[in-house]
Amino acid sequence: RPPAIIAPSILSSDFARLADECKRMVDLGADWLHVDVMDGHFVPNLTLGAPIVASLRKHTDAFLDCHLMTTNPELWVKDFAKAGADMITFHLEAAAGPGPDDWHSLAPDQPHPAVVDMCHGVRAAGMHVGLALKPATPVELAVPYVEQGLVDMVLVMTVEPGFGGQSFMADKAAKAAVLRKKFPDLLIQVDGGLAPATVDRAAAAGANVIVAGSAVFGAADPGVVIQQLRESVTA
């Protein structure tokens, strides 16, 4: 599997001191910074958008991994590229249509044209592309996009997207194992409830990109937590 990448989620940081918080995490060993973008439609919470990413870009060279929990993600590609985002991970469910149940129209053997367009659009804008799956979305639906080389990463959500600090859904980590078996080199990200106490399950399933918000920012020594998460993936 690819090397371990530890990505603290800045959702759990002090937004008024964002640049300092990001610098602190990078100094403590973070590989990426995970930026949770919520629009109040796709998820029942509102966070931040491209203007914050643009401001942050002036203070850090770190890889900015932007997780778009928005409907119509294609609307934001240009703004995030201009802001200096390194990667956009969008939700398969959102790209298939604006309704919450539109993903039911997706077939496991046939790429959905809107999802394909979104993948091409993100790369054409100069960013890496990730495809995110909510807990209830079958992992098989991601396979055609990976097979066709359209995505760099698949994000397996291990909580219902919308909030930090929720409990890890251990059974969802098994979705990573299905992907790892088929795709030895794929970046597989897990997000939600990851901590030193839960990461082993995700790492054993083959995940290599670990997002952690509350576990890292809530720790007395975030550097130790980052190191523990890394060791679990490397073990």
Of these partners, Zn ion, ligand DX5, none, which one is at the site of residue 151 (CB under 5 to 8 Å by kind)? none
Q: How far is the CB of 113 from Zn ion (least distance, A)?
A: 26
If DSSP states are collapsed to H, E and C, what string results for 116-177?
HHHHHHHHHCCCEEEEEECCCCCHHHHHHHHHCCCCCEEEEECCCCCCCCCCCCHHHHHHHH
Burial of 214 (0-12, 13-18, 19+ CB in 10 A): middle
When the beta carbons of 12 and 232 are compared against Zn ion, the nearer one is 12
User: Is there binding between residue 34 and ligand DX5 (CB under 6 A)?
Assistant: yes
Q: Judge contact between 206 and 176, C-beta under 8 A.
A: yes
What is the x/- site pattern for ligand DX5, positions 195-234, by CB under 6 A? ----------------xxxxx-------------------
The terminus-to-terminus CA distance of the chain in angstroms comes to 11
When the beta carbons of 91 and 180 are compared against Zn ion, the nearer one is 91
Any catalytic annotation for residue 171?
no
* The only residue of 135, 162, 196, 223 in contact with ligand DX5, by rule CB under 6 A: 162
* The only residue of 21, 33, 67, 203 in contact with Zn ion, by rule CB under 5 A: 67
Stretch that binds ligand DX5, among 97-105, 113-121, 138-146, 192-200 (CB under 6 A): 192-200
Catalytic entry in 39, 65, 152, 191? 191
Residue 86 sits at φ, ψ, to 5 deg, of -90, -30
Q: Judge contact between 35 and 76, C-beta under 8 A.
A: no
Closest CA to 127 of 187, 93, 78: 78
**H or E element that contains 34:** strand 32-38
Burial of 158 (0-12, 13-18, 19+ CB in 10 A): buried
66-85 residues near ligand DX5, rule: CB under 6 A: 67
User: Is there binding between residue 47 and ligand DX5 (CB under 6 A)?
Assistant: no
Residues annotated within the binding site are: 9, 34, 36, 67, 162-165, 191, 193, 213-214
User: What residues line the site for ligand DX5 (CB under 6 A)?
Assistant: 9, 11-12, 34, 36, 67, 159, 161-166, 191-194, 211-215
